Amino acid sequence: MAFSLRYQSTEAMHPARAFEIKADAAILVAKYQWTHCQAIDLDQPSDGRLVGISENDPEWSNDFVDTKEDVPVGTVIVIAELLCELSRRHRVGWELADADSGQSIGEIRSGTIESRLITQLQWIHSADQMLDETSGDGDDESSDLLDENEWYSVGMNLDIDVNAPVVKDDHDDGEDDGPRLLKFPGK
């Protein structure tokens, strides 16, 4: 089942800030092999928002990826996790939609994913897993679907250096995001 996921920042931004976010996204996606799903690839059209589309197709194979057993595979769930991480690091919100119909499937704000988006992405991922298993390419391991509580934790299965510098945005949009909470991976 092919599905194209469209993601767009909720606000326009200065090109320098967009460059920082795109560079950070490139570092994050490099930690995965993208065999059946296209990695995050952001562009900044004239309206100033960051936009990207990733096609997810379990029957598609990226012959340019040198698959390795020790490198995790990128999926639509990983894309959502990475967008959550970018949201936390750069204080950017994301709107996600079905690229074909344009229908919104949810948002990510302040690093938190909407529950309706979790449901949509789990459904897409489950359908992909079933197709992969029926084609004989699946393995016998249990599904790696996240339960709803795991989506809200920091670092969600990402290999992120917690000591790496985080680019902070000095942009103050006047909105109070509420108190800052310090969360640790795995807690």
Query: Could you tell me the CA-to-CA distances from 49 to 65, 82, 150 in Å, in that order?
Result: 29, 18, 29
Query: Could you tell me the CA-to-CA distances from 89 to 12, 31, 119, 170, 184 in Å, in that order?
Result: 17, 17, 24, 12, 14
Between residues 66 and 92, the one the model is more confident about: 92
pLDDT for res 93: 97
Please tell me the pTM assigned to this model. 0.67
Query: Could you tell me the CA-to-CA distances from 103 to 68, 97, 151, 186 in Å, in that order?
Result: 35, 5, 22, 33
pLDDT at 9 over 90: yes
Between residues 116 and 66, the one the model is more confident about: 116
Between residues 36 and 19, the one the model is more confident about: 19
For the chain, give the percent of residues with pLDDT over 90. Answer: 41
Q: How far is CA 152 from the centre of its chain?
A: 13
Domain limits of the chain?
A: 3-152
> 174 - beta bridge partners?
none
